[in-house]
Homo-oligomer: A and B are copies of this chain.
Amino acid sequence: MSIASRKEVAELAGVSEATVSRVLNNVGPLKEETKERVLAAALQLGYTPSSLAQSFARRRSGNLGVVMPYLPKTRWFSTYYFSEILSGIGSKAREEGYDLLMLFRNAEEPMDYSELFKMRKIDACIVLGAKEEPGELDSLRRLKEEGHPYCLINQHFEGEAFHEVDADHVEGSWQAVRHLLNQGFTRIAFLNGPASYSNSRDRLTGYLRALEESNLPLDDSLLFEGNFSRKSGVIAAKEMLPLLNAIDAIVAANDRMAIGLQQGLQELGIPRDHIPAIVGYDDSDAAELTTPALSSVRVPFYELGEIAVTKVLELLGCSPSETSSSSQVIHIKLPTELVIRASSKIMNPKEE
């Protein structure tokens, strides 16, 4: 369904846009023939300025779009990361009278945001789990250029001025490594997430900064990569096995991978008091339940979701030109906080 513009009506009727307005507003003297030509053209194109089209064009769906990644059979909703952000988004959206439209992004097919807004499927959107990939970047650039209200959560694109709400992962990762260094650990392995996520790159920055401050060189053999799943933590445990004597401690980029590491190392027969100190990331529910309980970096996911809703609804009140103006780019960074538990304490394997 397309909504014609006044310009298209003018072209079809062979008159000026001003004449279209005069006919439609019934202003001033006009030839009957001109009037009819304009009315016929307007009708033919579905241009109905007085009611339907305009009210349609103006009306809001009452839906807030939430763009999620999609992979067949992957339980995104079941991850602490997405579920907490969604809880924050859902709660705030509900308070503000909005329903959430969950949109699943296909890896191959970038989102067509224009279409979503044009079809009034959504009034604003929040983008989760965005990645540094060409298709996605183009899609987000168009979203921005068209001046739709949007906000990214937890993803920064270098050199782009997108609206974003993020947590300070440089700080979070720095705190985790700093804590381990303070306890005398120096050979600290790092199990990071994929580099296509800015939060992985931020964590690496924090890791490197903490090492530098202690005048420790970077040892590439201590850098590992997983995909944030528990399974990738189990796999990393196997990869670390040959080096285990040279590893004092491990920082993982989320709790799932940290728990996978704990379990993987146990399954490989490593006695509990030989398992390196481990710090996870996210401070999920599970961190308190593992044995030993997992030290972790707390990220205010729920609050990220809430703030993103507040911000996109503020943008929704703005005109498109204001929204796309770079002087008003939203750039919020919430603090992270290290929570210390038994998994990262020295020589205390019995503590639970």
- State the A residues within 8 Å of B (CB): 1-4, 24, 32-33, 35-36, 39-40, 42-48, 50-53, 55-56, 59, 61-63, 68, 70, 72-78, 80, 82-84, 86-87, 90-91, 93-95, 99-104, 121, 259, 285-286, 289-291, 302, 352
Contact = CB atoms under 8 A, between A and B. Distances in A.
A87 B94 contact: no
A10 to B, nearest CB: 15
A83 B79 CA distance: 8
Contacts of A84: 75, 77-78
Nearest to A78: B83
A319 to B, nearest CB: 22
B87 A1 contact: no
Contact of A43 (B50, B80, B94): B50
A102 B104 contact: no
Given A46-B51, A90-B102, A99-B103, A80 B77 contact: no
Contact of A77 (B72, B77, B101): B77
Contacts of A55: 1, 46
Contacts of A42: 43
A112 to B, nearest CB: 12
17 contacts: A4-B51, A39-B40, A46-B51, A46-B55, A47-B52, A52-B53, A63-B101, A72-B91, A74-B91, A75-B83, A75-B87, A76-B90, A77-B87, A77-B90, A83-B83, A94-B104, A102-B102
A43 B93 CA distance: 37
Contacts of A24: 43
